[in-house]
Structure 1
Amino acid sequence: MQHSVRLFTTAAIALAGVAFVSPSASAQSAPDAQERTIKFGHLNNPDHPVSLGVKKFAELLAAKSGGKLKVNEFPSNQLGNELQQQSALQGGVQEMTAPSTSSLAGIVKEFGLIDFPFALASFEQADALLDGPFGQALIARLPEKGLIALGYWDLGFRNVTNSRRPINRPEDLEGIKIRVIPNPVFLETFKAFKANPVPMPFAELYGALEAKAVDGQENPFAVILSNKMFEVQKYVSATNHVYGTNIILVSKRFWDKLSPAEQKMMQDAANEAKRYQRQVSRDAAQKAVAELKAKGMQYNELAAAEQARMRQIAKPVTDKFAASYDATLVKLYNDELARIRK
């Protein structure tokens, strides 16, 4: 609970710094804004950095539109799992969501490139990849699928938890039944480590861990803490195997009803909320490790040499997927990685 309080305190301090615009001033600068209510659903709990980002976005959008564009948040899978909410956006019955990019690989398979293991070594590299030409090229593929993206938020580096043993080297994953995102790259990667990966919606995960239907799972530290996985998992290992990001999606059917001025308010609010959300998320990840240890989880970090071994084991998997993707996007991805690693 202290974690939630601290997060909200951080949020409150940051929110206090935002310049509030009086409704009359906003309305004058934004005559095109109409009264609209936006249903913004996501799978995370209200104390999670994604939820804090939604609240910040809602506040900024209200300020920019003179209170005319209102955001109603629906956290914790209230509107369904990620794929159900994605379909709701495509159908025009829900306006916004913030899923992990991993869930988009089913409609634009090149989003799987973001999930390539051990590709990114720092938050700076992640931001450069996603905010640069590669991330924008992926976003450009979404309108034809009925979706508009306003940018990428931080979810964090993913780490393995389980109830059987610490993961110090690739061999430690052998035989562990681990829940993964329903995504081919994740499935094949963990098969390469001789684990037993089980695709499963996030909403079913805690129950499956509690019932011992699966031994473990992998998620960023803040997700592990926010969802109380310390109650049903003993070991948390800092594998940092994939950088996770949430993408801010808008229903194209809704977007096309907006005036250019309203669209600009949405994009500007998303850009400002992104900077705030990334910082809150990264601060939360640091605090989460200490709290997970305090809750009784055994924490360990992998040696650099073992991470390098894992990268080599996973390489045939990423090579296989890269060969099945659009060659121009794969080249852009590799070129951008080379650029940002310098």
Structure 2
Amino acid sequence: MGLLALACASAGAQTKLRAWNIHPDGYPVTEAMKRFASLVAQGTGGRYQIEIFSNATLGDQPKAVQMLKAGDIDVAEFSSGPLSDAVPGLKALNLPFLFSDSAHMFKHLDGKLGERFAAKLQAAGFVVVGWYDGGARSFYCASRSVGSFKDLAGARIRVQQSEVYLEMVKLMDATPVALPFKDVLSALEKGEVDCAENNMPSFESTGHYKIAKSVYVTNHVISPEALVVSTKLWSSLSPADKAAFQKAGAESALVMRDLWNKRVASAIETAGKQGVQFVRVKDVAPMVRRLSPLYGKYMSDPSTREELLTIIGN
């Protein structure tokens, strides 16, 4: 009878949490979040159980941001876009050629710069428990072969609705076309855009590689994503539970980064077998010089200058 009462008490103390992400099952982000949920359950003795809602089933990213802030969802994985809306200094991370690779980026985000961003994000309603890899972005084209950034001149290039991306493409003498990601394949097929830019898993998983056969591997933007919990949930956790969440988040980030690297290699192999031609940029210096007005603008902005100086100086 005592054991039954203990079991009932334990079940009654269990808290169920909801976690959001935009990606499908099997994607590195989703699988890493599953690992996070498992580690949280272990670290809290089963008192916190996290259910993963993938594929944006609870709403798109802007809606999920509002739900997290309201406490209607407890955990989410966001790209740098909505995070930089909350903390303008994060825009610096979207500047082209800021990082040489993901290892360079995580050297900063797993250190002092990441701690500074995390403190600012927490004040804005996002408690960062892990920095995930947002991937390295390159250009790919359906209507032209690209062997140099000069070959992009005059092209209509799909970009995110982002100030940095719009200005970057204009400075390359091309025309930026801001479209929702779900519309890019159709736009490439119909010739409404000539090129797009994204990371290789997105290029492959969406089928863009079936239309766009020329990839100019620039890795021009290497940006992070973040696994966050709501401040409402965070304020309710004991110090021990906060430590368990942070430990689980850090471990899930390492899982995600490893899965991501494997997915990038797989995507390139799949696209290559379908006749996609990859041309790697030999020297980024000409592109960097062309984009100098963009760097000047953000270096003169007080909200991003300190972050840029921290990255460039190390």
Q: Same fold (TM over 0.5)?
A: yes
Moved over 4 A (4+): none
State the Cα distance separating 1:295 from its structure 2 match. 2.6
> How big is the shift at 1:332?
4.5
CA distance, structure 2, for counterparts of residue 141 and residue 200 of structure 1: 30
Q: Which of 85, 98, 105 pairs up with 2:77?
A: 98
Rate the CA distance shift 1:77–1:237 in 2: closer, same or farther, 3 A.
Answer: farther
Alpha-carbon distance between aligned partners in 1 of 2:167 and 2:285, rounded to the nearest angstrom: 18
Superimposed CA distance per residue, residues 139-191 of structure 1 (whole angstroms, 9 cap, x where no aligned partner): 21112322211131112211112212233222222222222222211111111
Q: Which moved more, 1:311-320 or 1:161-170?
A: 161-170
Tell me what 2:22 maps to: 43
Q: 2:213 aligns with which of 209, 222, 234?
A: 234
> Which residue identity lines up with residue 108 of structure 2 in the other structure?
L
1:139 counterpart residue number: 118
Q: Secondary structure at the match of 1:245?
A: strand
Q: CA 1:232 to 1:321, structure 2 compared with 1: closer, same or farther past 3 Å?
A: same
CA displacement at 1:207 relative to structure 2: 4.1
Aligned residue number for residue 9 of structure 1: none
Q: Which has the larger radius of gyration?
A: 2
Distance 1:69 1:179, change over 3 A: farther
- 2:161 matched residue in structure 1: 182
Asked if structure 2 preserves the Cα contact closer than 8 Å seen for 1:89 and 1:251, the reply is yes
Per the TM alignment, residue 269 of structure 1 is displaced from its structure 2 partner at its CA by 0.3
- TM-score of the pair, normalised by structure 2: 0.89
Measured in 2, the distance between the counterparts of 1:71 and 1:205 equals 33
Change (3 A) 1:45 1:161: farther
- How far apart are the structure 2 equivalents of 1:192 and 1:265? 46
Q: Provide the TM-score with structure 1 as the length reference.
A: 0.82
Q: Which runs of 5+ in 2 are unaligned?
A: 1-5
Q: How does 1:172-251 map to 2 (within 5 A)?
A: 172-251=151-230
C-alpha spacing 1:46/1:324, structure 2 compared with 1 (3 Å): same
Q: Distance in 1 between matches of 2:173 and 2:55?
A: 32
* Structure 1: gaps of 5 or more residues: 1-26
Q: Map residues 79-94 of structure 1 onto 2, 5 A cutoff.
A: 79-94=58-73
CA spacing shift, 1:215–1:68, aligned 2, 3 Å: farther
**Residues 1:67 and 1:166: Cα distance change in structure 2 (over 3 Å):** farther
Once residues 105 and 309 of structure 2 are traced to their aligned partners in structure 1, the CA distance between those partners, rounded to angstroms, is 13
Secondary structure class of the residue paired with 1:125: helix
Deviations 1:104-133 (A, max 9, x none): 222221111111111111232111121121
More off after superposition, 252-261 vs 239-248: 252-261
SS at match of 1:182: coil
Aligned residues: 305
SS of match in other structure, 2:219: coil
Q: 1:298/1:268 Cα in 2 relative to 1: closer, same or farther (>3 Å)?
A: same
1:310 positional shift: 0.7
Distance 1:167 1:82 in 2: 33
CA distance in 1, matches of 2:30, 2:288: 32
| Alignment correspondent of 1:4 | none
User: Deviation per CA, 1:8-64, whole angstroms, max 9, x where unpaired?
Assistant: xxxxxxxxxxxxxxxxxxx9xxx9x94222222222222321122112112211222
Relative to structure 1, the CA distance from residue 196 to residue 84 in structure 2 (aligned partners, 3 Å threshold; closer, same or farther) is farther
- Following superposition of structure 1 onto structure 2, how do residues 64-83 of structure 1 map, counting pairs within 5 Å? 64-83=43-62
CA distance in 2, matches of 1:96, 1:215: 37
Q: Is the 8 A contact 2:128 2:229 kept in 1?
A: yes
